Amino acid sequence: LFCVPRHYENDLEKVIIPHGLIMDRTERLARDIIQDMGGHHIVALCVLKGGYKFFADLLDYIKALNQNSDKSVPLTVDFIRVKSYCNDKSTNNVKVIGGDELSSLSGKVSLLGSDIVETGRTMQTLLSLLSESNPKMVKVVRPRLRRSVVFVFISDIGFEVPDAFLVGYALDYNEYFRDLSHICILNDQAKEKYRV
């Protein structure tokens, strides 16, 4: 019943979070951030590649709220890239690209926008890297959290999701499916079709 690109129609098991629901929850997260952090200068750090869509949508909502509410949040934006997957398995090796410029976070409030928490290894690596820059505070915002994993350092979570391989809304399988608007479960045939 949902619109998906024709080239992915046979690759998806099901849509678990439709795009409209994602946008509604992202707007709520933006409101919570303004409420909690209004008045602080925030360095918003996007974790690429899987976090780019959520990050852009979240910042759009924050900008709109900055213009239309009593509280506002001054923002600067930066990016860092993390890679830890091949096919549908974690490589147990977290590669961080672009972490050499994080010294600008010293003494500032950081908003870390990323994609999904699964094992927590990537987030632990990122938080350790950020702590070396001595930020005043780090707030982690993620659109998705696997049901089987709970961490105390996650500040705001958009959705709790099943322990399945998810694609869409910038989550990929070997760089495919980032252009899918909904969050979906990938079927087994597609895992074979796009395997590297």
Q: Contact, 142 vs 163, CB < 8 A? A: no
Looking at per-residue pLDDT, the higher value among 135 and 68 belongs to 68
pTM for the full predicted model? 0.79
| Spatial distance between the Cα atoms of 152 and 165, rounded to a whole number of angstroms | 23
Q: Contact, 156 vs 142, CB < 8 A? A: yes
Task: Answer whether residue 145 shows pLDDT above 80.
Answer: no
- The residue-averaged pLDDT of 134-144 equals 71
Q: Contact, 26 vs 158, CB < 8 A? A: yes
Type of residue at 5:
P
Q: What domains can be seen in the chain, in order of their start residue?
A: 24-161 (3.40.50.2020)
Q: Encode pLDDT of 30-43 as tens digits.
A: 898 888 876 788 88
Q: Encode pLDDT of 107-128 as tens digits.
A: 777 777 766 555 566 777 777 7
Q: Encode pLDDT of 94-103 as tens digits.
A: 677 765 567 7
Task: Answer whether residue 149 shows pLDDT above 50.
Answer: no
Please report the pLDDT score of residue 147 as a whole number.
41
- The residue-averaged pLDDT of 150-155 equals 40
